[in-house]
Amino acid sequence: MVTQIVYSNEFNKHNNKGHPENAERLNVMNDEIKKSHLYNDLEFIKPEILSEKSLYEVHSDRMIEQIKEISSTGDSWIDLDTYVCKHDYEIARLAAGGLLTACKNILSKKADNAFALVRPPGHHASKNRSMGFCLFNNAAIAANEITKLGKKVLIFDFDVHHGNGTQDIFYDRNDVMYQSLHLSPHYPGTGSAEEIGTDKGAGYTINTPLYYGNGDKAVTKLLDNIFLPVAKQFKPDIVIMSCGYDSHHEDPLGGLRLTCNFYSKIIKKFQEVQQKIACTLEGGYNLNWIGKCLVSQLGQMAGKIVEFDDKTIEQENVKEVINELKNELQMYWNV
């Protein structure tokens, strides 16, 4: 089993120490990997920078030019949440290219699976707007490139925030399926169960808005009743996982109650659908836990389970959500 980690120190150039999405996130995650018994079993590789052509196929000219202009002069802000540092046009392309590198290596059998340990994150970046700590949409760009090979892509997003940008980009397409679990109501306010796609993409967007306090048991029910049955019918050629560890119960920006060890179980369940899995980093801001959440996932990916002492109390009230989703999706999938 070959599990690759795509990483570069260049990602730490995107940094604002007073912002929750800062360079220290990757530092603590790398430290946790080095402490684990997995370290010598992982293959670390460098990312390849994304071509401008691939970038312009997903995002608007105006959006890209804004990032390019700001990053050429120095630090600034796009909105109240999203900062841009000098050279971020190159750093953000390197992050997107890092996930694409991971996907290509999996599809060419250079790796069985991979984790793109990249930043800035991406899932809030829509066709026309950088927002929510995100500049370009790493998962969407990689998925779009893979579809050019005639392959189908499933993007599964377990960040506590809905990936409005990823949904926006593929909302009318049926070669990429977007599945998301997320807290609702919560930023950015999108991701209701009725949002299932449009035109030929109808049925290919699946949102499960969760209540405050939902955790492992609630998400397991959603996986077993909605996400996995539909994924098996879709038959993706590769799974891209948007990994937001702000769904962990100790995250300061969260509200869900997932435990550290549950992230490995998510990987295990999707391995029953497709072994080819490429993960990319999204949110997660508790520096004491994000590294452990990552290592939990890597343990399952590398075939060497790692568990941590982590328990919490959760709410399991998802029956209403499951019934609503079955009603919305029954025209498209056997659920």
Read off the pTM: 0.98
Residues in a beta bridge with 77: 83
Q: How far is CA 312 from CA 182, 260, 295, 309, 317, in A?
A: 18, 10, 19, 10, 16
Q: What is the DSSP pairing of strand 153-157 with strand 176-183?
A: parallel
> With bands split at pLDDT 50, 70 and 90, how would you rate the model's confidence at 1?
confident
- Give yes or no for residue 22 having a pLDDT over 90: yes
Active site (annotated) includes residue 124: yes
Weakest-pLDDT range from 12-16, 18-22, 316-320: 316-320
- pLDDT of 300: 98
Residue of 59, 123, 124, 249 with catalytic role: 124
Cβ atoms 262, 243 nearer than 8 A: no
- pLDDT tens digits for range 64-116: 999 999 999 989 999 999 999 999 999 999 999 999 999 999 999 999 999 99
- pLDDT of 74: 81
- Average pLDDT estimate for 168-188: 98
- Average pLDDT estimate for 118-140: 98
CA distance 75 to 14: 10
- Average pLDDT estimate for 175-199: 98
- Give yes or no for residue 280 having a pLDDT over 90: yes
Domains of the chain: 3-329 (3.40.800.20)
CA distance 272 to 116: 21
Fill in the amino acid letter for 229: P
- Average pLDDT estimate for 199-216: 98
- pLDDT of 220: 98
- Average pLDDT estimate for 37-64: 97
Q: What is the DSSP pairing of strand 238-243 with strand 205-210?
A: unpaired
CA distance 291 to 312: 18
Q: What is the DSSP pairing of strand 176-183 with strand 113-116?
A: unpaired
In degrees, rounded to 5, the angle at the alpha carbon of residue 184 between the alpha carbons of residues 183 and 187 is 85
- pLDDT of 322: 97
Lookup: tokens for 169: 């980009």
